[in-house]
Amino acid sequence: MSVPEYVKQIRTKIGHDLLMLAGACVILENDRGQILLQQRSSGKWGLPGGLLEIGETLEETAIREVKEETGLVVTDLKQLHTFSGDFAHLKLANQDELYMVTTLYQVLAYHGKIIPDQDETLQLGFFSYDDLPDNFERNYLRYLDYYLTQQKRKDTLL
């Protein structure tokens, strides 16, 4: 995850102390129902997404991050849920403490060719929900579980 300049400026003032940040991530499925995952420079796999920048909406964050990280252009999104709670209090390897408020979106329409960002992304791939990579970031499991539960509910109502 690329760190916005304003976060870097705040960190120079507060050091590693707790900082609350907002961000967005997306569930993007191909026509076979597989989900697009990103292996970040840390080696961990997760959903495309990132931090809100000053002046943008969370929807704009989701669209921008997908474009930056995958090369794909999102043309339609659906907001699914906003996550917060004890699990969102993180301590990073560099000792920075974060409290992340993350909004999850489902990509309804997109176009383009997948072109991984060379700075933040080691690789991109589509995976089935029952065959996620071993080093899948634990917090993203909460988002996937939420999405799959909502899909099951929707299917039972139809």
Name the pLDDT band for 156 (thresholds 50, 70, 90).
Answer: low
The b-or-e profile of 21-52 (16+ CB within 10 A means b, else e) is bbbbbbbbbeeeeebbbbbbeeeebbbbbbbb
Average pLDDT over residues 82-93: 93
Q: How far apart are CA 80 and CA 47, in angstroms?
A: 14
Q: pLDDT at position 3, please?
A: 81
Average pLDDT over residues 97-120: 94
Name the pLDDT band for 127 (thresholds 50, 70, 90).
Answer: very high
Q: How far apart are CA 10 and CA 29, in angstroms?
A: 36
Q: pLDDT at position 104, please?
A: 98
> Is residue 5's pLDDT more than 90?
no
> In terms of pLDDT, which residue wins out, 83 or 151?
83
> Is residue 142's pLDDT more than 60?
yes
Q: pLDDT at position 151, please?
A: 87
Mean pLDDT of the chain: 93
Q: How far apart are CA 117 and CA 119, in angstroms?
A: 6
Domain positions in the chain: 5-157
Q: How far apart are CA 8 and CA 94, in angstroms?
A: 13
CATH superfamily ID and name for 5-157:
Nucleoside Triphosphate Pyrophosphohydrolase (3.90.79.10)
Cβ–Cβ contacts within 10 Å for residue 14, how many?
Answer: 11
* Helical H segments across the chain, by residue range: 5-14, 58-70, 138-157
Tens digit of pLDDT for each residue in 49-71?
999 999 999 999 999 999 999 99
- Which tokens is 145 given? 């579980």
In contact, 76 and 106? CB cutoff 8 Å: no
> Is residue 76's pLDDT more than 70?
yes
Q: How far apart are CA 156 and CA 137, in angstroms?
A: 29
